Amino acid sequence: MKSMTQDEQITLTIGIMGILDGWGMSAAEIISLLALPEKTPTRALRRYRENTPFPVTAEVEERIEHILGITDALRTSYPHNPQMGKMWIRQRSKKLKNQIPLQIIIENGLSGIIEIRKHLDCSYDWHSDKREVR
């Protein structure tokens, strides 16, 4: 995000908020998931949906990267029905020990986001395993 223009940052922020709203997340869950400052008022999310970019921090950027990766993997998994990705993220999955993917994300924060991304995106999982081996 650091090399993006202000307008590009705003467009990205609005897009991420749209994704998280589509997943049915509450304001408090969004603040926690994105690692926004602890005292971020929930009304600040309205500004993110309209014309204010997210703060530029390594934590926020990493989480955005994973959210985009999950979204892309869901779009690849369900290319003809984008609503299926939104449904999948909120339904129990046998492959995830009968847990709800969104609940894993909410309860486990960054590690939950990474777990779901690895589950959906085998190429990301393969690359991350290669990085850990080195």
d(CA 27, CA 7): 24
Q: What is the pLDDT of residues 11-21, one digit of tens each?
A: 999 999 999 99
Q: Give me the mean pLDDT over the 64-80 stretch.
A: 95
Domain ranges of the chain: 6-133
Q: What is the pLDDT of residue 134?
A: 43
Q: What is the pLDDT of residue 37?
A: 87
| Helix, strand, coil tally for the chain in percent (to 5) | 70, 0, 30
Q: What is the pLDDT of residues 23-70, one digit of tens each?
A: 999 999 999 999 998 889 988 999 999 999 999 999 999 999 999 999
Average pLDDT score over the chain = 91
Q: Give me the mean pLDDT over the 94-116 stretch.
A: 95
pLDDT category of residue 119 using cuts at 50, 70 and 90: very high
Nearest to 59 by CA among 39, 31, 24: 31
d(CA 70, CA 59): 17
More confident residue, 23 or 3: 23
φ, ψ at 62 (rounded to 5°): -65, -45
pLDDT above 90 for 112 = yes
Give the residue carrying structure tokens 């897009």.
Answer: 15
